[in-house]
Amino acid sequence: MASLKSIRKRINSVRNTRQITKAMKMVAAAKLRRAQENVLAARPYAEKLAEVLQRLAGSGGHSGHPLLGKEKTEKVLLIVVSSDRGLCGGFNANICKAAESFVRENGSRYPEISLMTIGRKGYDYLRRRATIRKNYPNILSSLNYQTAALIARELIDGYITDEYDAVYLLYNAFRSVLSQTITITQLLPVQPPEVPEEEFSPEAIYEPSKEELFTGLFPKNVEVQLFHAMLESVASEHGARMTAMDSATKNATEMIDKLTLQYNRARQAAITTELVEIISGAQSVGG
């Protein structure tokens, strides 16, 4: 049986760990609230942009835009959004496994698949398992639209110059504190939503022209999709970390209870042994 001193050390160590995990849970909860507010604030703009694209797509006039597709799709870029820090359960492991699955399942379909990682954890895991074109670390902690727009512009330029023929985005979509859904969407080529012919009136006057609107809105749509996905990933990260730290705190409490019980039993056994020795000594002296 372990000594009383070693058990006390373990109890103190676990208590210190519980304090840390409890504090991290509270910090993650505060950050999650802000991240949820950011997601909700960005959602109306994304929805309205999608509505405008639907109306324009319903009226035609976009078939010749350079972001709408190429004859062949041979070179594919997969953007993987992970986190820069750990201690968030299976958040990073799940997204990295999904990236590996995408490369494995589409290897025969596309001759060349490369990755762009946003977040240090995804890069650390995937750099030895796939071709990493570029990594963007430490941008999610202070995420803003300008950063997403710069990355989107780089993606569009690479697509136009034939560095790759398609771009896919892989991220964790936020559903709740306990639920994050791995989501993959196609960023490029842009796919205008299909609209029933009877839904929109063809008699519409556009100022500026529809072609000019598509020229501005297609790149803007890529920016908004990327920014929204990064916001979703940040909220998912904080939710996963909050859940992981809550679970770690509960496990630490259970371990402290078990160690305390073990300590009391060991202490009782030690007291019993001392009493037996005292009684035996007294009997031997009295005899």
pLDDT value of position 242: 94
Distance CA(234)–CA(245), nearest Å, equals 16
Q: Are residues 10 and 64 in the same domain?
A: no
Tell me the whole-structure pTM to 2 decimals.
0.83
Percent share of the chain, pLDDT over 70: 86
Q: Are residues 177 and 250 in the same domain?
A: no
- The total domain count for the chain is 2
Q: Are residues 222 and 125 in the same domain?
A: yes
Q: Are residues 258 and 220 in the same domain?
A: no
Q: Are residues 139 and 110 in the same domain?
A: yes
- 107: domain CATH number is 3.40.1380.10
Q: Are residues 235 and 276 in the same domain?
A: no
Known catalytic membership, residue 96 = no
Question: For 226-278, how does the pLDDT look when each residue is reduced to its tens digit (9 = 90+)?
Answer: 999 999 999 999 999 999 999 999 999 999 999 999 989 888 887 887 777 77
Question: For 174-197, how does the pLDDT look when each residue is reduced to its tens digit (9 = 90+)?
Answer: 888 888 899 998 888 877 656 555
Q: Which of 226, 243, 260 is the last residue of a domain?
A: 243
Of residues 47 and 238, more confidently modeled? 238
Q: Are residues 235 and 267 in the same domain?
A: no
Distance CA(176)–CA(39), nearest Å, equals 12
Q: Are residues 153 and 38 in the same domain?
A: yes
- Answer whether the bond into residue 189 is a cis peptide, omega within 30°: yes
- 257: domain CATH number is 1.10.287.80
Q: Are residues 103 and 142 in the same domain?
A: yes
Q: Are residues 14 and 119 in the same domain?
A: no
Q: Are residues 182 and 278 in the same domain?
A: no
| Domain limits for position 232 | 33-243
* pLDDT range class, residue 95, cuts 50, 70, 90: very high
Q: Are residues 109 and 141 in the same domain?
A: yes
Structure tokens at 265: 């039993």
pLDDT value of position 63: 58
User: Of 243, 261, 252, whose CA–CA distance to 19 is shortest?
Assistant: 252
Catalytic site residue from 88, 126, 130, 229: 88
Structure tokens at 117: 């990682």
- Each as own residue / partner, the long-range contacts of residues 153-159 (CB below 8 Å, 24 or more positions apart, any chain) are 153/219, 153/223, 155/77, 155/79, 155/187, 155/188, 155/222, 155/226, 156/67, 156/188, 156/219, 156/222, 158/77, 159/67, 159/188, 159/189
Mean pLDDT value of segment 214-226: 85
Structure tokens at 56: 């324009």
- Answer whether the bond into residue 208 is a cis peptide, omega within 30°: yes
